[in-house]
Chain A
Amino acid sequence: MAVIKLKRPKLSWYEHLYLPAIIKGLLITFKHAVISVFGKATGSKELASSGLGVTMQYPEQKWDEHLPEYYRGIPALVTDEQGRERCVSCQLCEFICPPKAITIAPGELKSDDEWAKVEKAPKAFDIDMIRCIYCGMCEEVCPEQAIFLRQDYAMTGTTRAEMVNDKDRLYQLGGVREGLINKWNEVK
């Protein structure tokens, strides 16, 4: 690697005084203060600021309409058009989940179900949202496209138990997802 020798720039006497530079700096910060008080700070429009600086005041204002399509929020299970559970409790997501947030108890479909001998379904399916890191691995690995990361991000609870999403809650969150399964036909 070539060695590049840098020379310190020679300062003129005016720059040596140092005081004019400080005054210039003070004016810059003052300008910023004035601009941000009047809600005109650079980028405040795009960032939907609350009118002071560029900050959005969170619980009152939300970012929802700006969320990108690929935003990774709460993972949830989905059913297909016929109301069947898509998840076949293969447990791939359970194994891949980096923080081990998912716990699945595999089970069989009811014997009167048309697909009883063909597929399985989870008996219980818990995602511990305290552990989940919203990585999206579960969505990526699922062969049945049964689990998706939704756009919701505000999940709160006052106890640890409240923060665990069980199967009912996961289906309620996920709802119905139309479209064929990737295995046979890419969703585009």
Chain B
Amino acid sequence: MDWVPLIITGIKVFFFTFVVILPLIAYSTYAERRVCAIMQDRVGPNRVGIPLTLLGFKKDLSFFGLLQPLADGLKGLFKQDLTPGHVRKSFYWMAPALTAIPAFITVCVIPFGSNVNLFGHDVKLVIADIGAGPLFVFAIASLSVYGITLAGWSSNSKYPFFGGVRSCAQMISYEISLGLSIIPVLMVFGKLNLTDIVTHQSEKGWLLLPLWNEHGSIFSGDYWAHCGPQWLLLLPLGISFIVFTTSIFAETNRMPFDLPECETELVGGYHTEYSSMKFALFFMGEYAAMIVGSAVIVTIFFGGWSLGFGLDSALLQTGEGAWKWFAGFIHLGVFLAKTIGFIIFFIWVRWTVPRLRYDQLMKLGWVVFFELALFNIFIAALIIAAPHIGPLLTLFVGVPILLALAAIMYFITKSVESKHKVNIT
């Protein structure tokens, strides 16, 4: 038996979870507090540092409060872990793990970078290079709904229960638009392996930034001769992106959709009865889901680890040896930079958009996004099929069918809506 691949996988698992994701979680809580503070004209946590005054020095080193997550973690560990007497013990103990674990498992299909040469082995910077990337992420990530629902139910108290039920309904509703919105993307790529998807994008342009393709970038004439379909596809892909991103927001229970947690109505939410590290695990799960969500968005829509403009092939091919060895790490850095950018975007949205009412949330999920994602598939299909079936068929059969579909969907939604209209007089 060959042990080396196993050991390498172990190293990768260790590296990506403990060196990349866990610190990212810690520092996204810090970033959340700092970013929201400056958006609200405040300062945020800027004090926790190395307490040199305890050792007799004149001044503390505060490092802008960068050690705050560490202090939070320690506080979580040292707090009393209270299990109320009226809870269902086994489920109560399982629930925090059930929210955190799926979020961590999904990390394994994310391609963090291209290949790296380790001990003479060409190592792909992805833990499990499987052919069902996005589907695997959806399948596992949706398991975390069990954690939240169980937390709400096992707490045996009505407010957490409401939180759990809300979260359950919300996640199930948005899973549909999440799955549907990604179909146009998969039609464009024609494959499901996330590594292949990134390689495809590095050669043919990021999905939402088609500034280059295999014929060159915007600076060369060849590109303009071949870029037509790429720009046309931006319409369905843009819709996909909006629906997908919003659904990820809903899936991770982030701000405009954070109804499962609610101080004003539900005391706290599904985690009202939890304390100390169990409570912290819910938070870690939430932030891990957010990080994986932004990683997936970056991978699918913004070219993952690729630098773009054909630079990747140059990075990967020019030099034998040293240069290529670096390429993997450069790609890792690019990927992390993009992901962090998206995390900041998540935080930015959280502190901007007011939350939705519950009926608005459901309406947005079922009436708007579901239809939009479904219709979007047909738009993408028509655009992709157009070159094959010729302009005549496209214009006189494809477009009318599309319009008819749009009209049907519009009337269905309208009729559903008017039936439930409450008369406020």
Chain A residues proximal to chain B, CB less than 8 Å: 5, 8, 19, 22, 25-26, 28-30, 32-33, 35-37, 41-42, 44, 50, 52-55, 57
A8 touches B424 (CB 8 A): yes
With A8-B424, A33-B35 already in contact, the answer to whether A53 and B40 are too (CB < 8 A) is yes
Q: Give the interface size class of chain B.
A: 10 to 19
A32 touches B41 (CB 8 A): yes
Alpha-carbon gap, A55 to B43, bound state (A):
6
B38 touches A52 (CB 8 A): yes
A57 touches B43 (CB 8 A): yes
Interface-side segment among B153-161, B309-317, B329-337, B349-357: B349-357
Q: A22-B349, A30-B348 are in contact. List 20 more A-B contacts (CB 8 A).
A: A5-B425, A8-B424, A25-B352, A25-B353, A26-B349, A26-B352, A29-B351, A29-B352, A32-B39, A32-B41, A35-B41, A36-B38, A37-B38, A41-B41, A50-B43, A52-B46, A53-B38, A54-B41, A55-B41, A55-B42
26 contacts between A and B (CB under 8 A): A19-B242, A22-B349, A22-B352, A25-B353, A28-B352, A29-B39, A30-B348, A32-B38, A32-B39, A33-B35, A33-B38, A35-B41, A36-B38, A36-B41, A42-B41, A44-B41, A52-B38, A52-B43, A53-B37, A53-B41, A53-B42, A53-B43, A54-B41, A54-B42, A55-B42, A57-B43
Q: How far is the CB of A135 from chain B (nearest CB, A)?
A: 30
Q: How far is the CB of B265 from chain A (nearest CB, A)?
A: 23
Alpha-carbon gap, A25 to B37, bound state (A):
16
User: Considering only CB atoms, which chain B residue lies closest to A44 in the complex?
Assistant: B41
Alpha-carbon gap, A32 to B352, bound state (A):
11
User: Considering only CB atoms, which chain A residue lies closest to B47 in the complex?
Assistant: A57
Alpha-carbon gap, A8 to B41, bound state (A):
33
Alpha-carbon gap, A2 to B309, bound state (A):
67
User: Considering only CB atoms, which chain B residue lies closest to A51 in the complex?
Assistant: B43
Q: Which residues of B contact A53 (CB under 8 A)?
A: 37-38, 40-43
Q: How far is the CB of A125 from chain B (nearest CB, A)?
A: 36
Alpha-carbon gap, A32 to B40, bound state (A):
7
Alpha-carbon gap, A8 to B424, bound state (A):
9
Alpha-carbon gap, A50 to B41, bound state (A):
11
Q: How far is the CB of B344 from chain A (nearest CB, A)?
A: 10
B39 touches A33 (CB 8 A): yes
Q: Which of B35, B43, B353 has the most CB of A within 10 A?
A: B43
Q: How far is the CB of B45 from chain A (nearest CB, A)?
A: 12
Q: Which residues of B contact A8 (CB under 8 A)?
A: 424
Alpha-carbon gap, A25 to B39, bound state (A):
12
Q: Which residues of B contact A36 (CB under 8 A)?
A: 38-39, 41-42
Alpha-carbon gap, A88 to B352, bound state (A):
60
Q: Which residues of A contact B37 (CB under 8 A)?
A: 53
For A29, give its contact among B42, B43, B242, B348 (CB under 8 Å): B348
Q: Which residues of B contact A32 (CB under 8 A)?
A: 38-41
User: Considering only CB atoms, which chain B residue lies closest to A35 in the complex?
Assistant: B41
User: Considering only CB atoms, which chain B residue lies closest to A24 in the complex?
Assistant: B352
Q: Which residues of B contact A57 (CB under 8 A)?
A: 43
Q: Which residues of B contact A29 (CB under 8 A)?
A: 39, 348, 351-352
Q: Which residues of B contact A30 (CB under 8 A)?
A: 39, 348
Q: Which of A22, A29, A42, A55 has the most CB of B within 10 A?
A: A29
Q: Which residues of A contact B42 (CB under 8 A)?
A: 36, 53-55
Q: Which residues of A contact B43 (CB under 8 A)?
A: 50, 52-53, 55, 57
A22 touches B424 (CB 8 A): no
Q: Which residues of A contact B425 (CB under 8 A)?
A: 5
Interface residues of B in 16-74 (CB under 8 A from A): 35, 37-43, 46
Alpha-carbon gap, A115 to B387, bound state (A):
112
Alpha-carbon gap, A5 to B37, bound state (A):
39
Q: How far is the CB of A175 from chain B (nearest CB, A)?
A: 32
Alpha-carbon gap, A26 to B352, bound state (A):
6
Alpha-carbon gap, A107 to B43, bound state (A):
53
Alpha-carbon gap, A116 to B41, bound state (A):
61
In the A-B complex, list the 9 residue pairs whose CB atoms are closest, starting with the nearest. A53-B41, A41-B41, A55-B43, A29-B352, A36-B41, A25-B352, A29-B39, A53-B42, A33-B39
User: Considering only CB atoms, which chain A residue lies closest to B256 in the complex?
Assistant: A22
Q: Which residues of A contact B40 (CB under 8 A)?
A: 32, 53
Alpha-carbon gap, A55 to B34, bound state (A):
13
Alpha-carbon gap, A139 to B116, bound state (A):
76
Q: How far is the CB of B121 from chain A (nearest CB, A)?
A: 45
Q: How far is the CB of A16 from chain B (nearest CB, A)?
A: 10
Q: Which residues of B contact A33 (CB under 8 A)?
A: 35, 38-39
